[in-house]
Amino acid sequence: MKLLTLNFLTCARKTCKSTAAAFPLHPKEAELEQVEMELNPLFVKNMLPRLDWEAMKTLATELGLPNLPAETPVAEELANESGEPTQTLRDLHTLLMETAIASGKLVCGNCGHEYAVKEGIANFLLPSHMV
């Protein structure tokens, strides 16, 4: 599961869903995997506006990855005058597209429930008493 995906996920319990603490989920004992992908400047640029930047910064810190810039990078920071991709764009590409959680847990900051990730697939099925 690419780190990008964590921008779209929250705790599956009804009571947590709309609480601020349930997002982002916090990786625990995460084993990361680097999956090389062709640099995809358009995708990164078009994806930025829909990322929750604070959440992405939290994730980078929690996973021990290099810190992200304090604010969402603007378009000018992604390409230089000659249109070539900048280091910022490359770093974002590496973080969002090429870094994946292979196994570990995703923990809800509201209820503490731990969702297991195995072979890159997160399991969000809840025992019926927890739904």
Partner 1 sequence: MDWALPRLVTVAKASAWQYSSAADSEPGRNDSVNTNAACPADEMIPTPSTSHVDYNRVYEPAEDSYLLLDTLSASSESNWLRARFPPTSATPSAVEVGCGSGVVLAFIAANAERLLGRPDVTTFGIDVNEFACKATADTVSLAIKEAGPTNQSVFGGSINGDLMTSLRPGSVDILVCNPPYVPTEELPNESNLDEFADRADFGSDEAFDRDSRYLALAYAGGMDGMEVTNRLLDQLPEALSQHGAAYILLCAQNRPDAVKDRIRSWAHGWSAETVGSSGKKAGWEKLSIIRVWRS
* Shortest Å distance, C-beta 45 to partner 1: 9
- Tokens 């995997």 -> residue: 33
Binding test (CB under 8 A) with partner 1, winner from 47, 60, 63, 65 = 47
Query: Given the DSSP bridges, would you call strands 99-107 and 26-34 parallel, antiparallel or unpaired?
Result: antiparallel
Does residue 46 interact with partner 1 by CB under 8 A? yes
Binding residue count for Zn ion, defined by CB under 5 A:
7
Q: By CB under 8 A, which span of 17-25, 26-34, 73-81, 83-91 interacts with partner 1?
A: 17-25
Which partner in partner 1, Zn ion, none is near 110 (CB below 5 to 8 A by kind)?
Answer: Zn ion
Rg (the chain; Cα; Å):
16
- CA proximity to 41, closest of 99, 2, 80: 80
SS3 call for 37: coil
Query: Given the DSSP bridges, would you call strands 99-107 and 114-118 parallel, antiparallel or unpaired?
Result: antiparallel
- Tokens 């973080």 -> residue: 95
Encoded one letter per residue, x for contact with Zn ion by CB under 5 A and - for no contact, window 1-20 reads: ----------x-x--x----
Rounded Cα gap, residues 85 and 87, in angstroms? 7
Q: By CB under 8 A, which span of 26-34, 59-67, 73-81, 122-130 interacts with partner 1?
A: 122-130
- Residues near partner 1, by CB under 8 A: 1-2, 4-5, 7-12, 14, 17-18, 23, 38, 40, 42-43, 46-50, 97, 100, 116, 118-128, 131
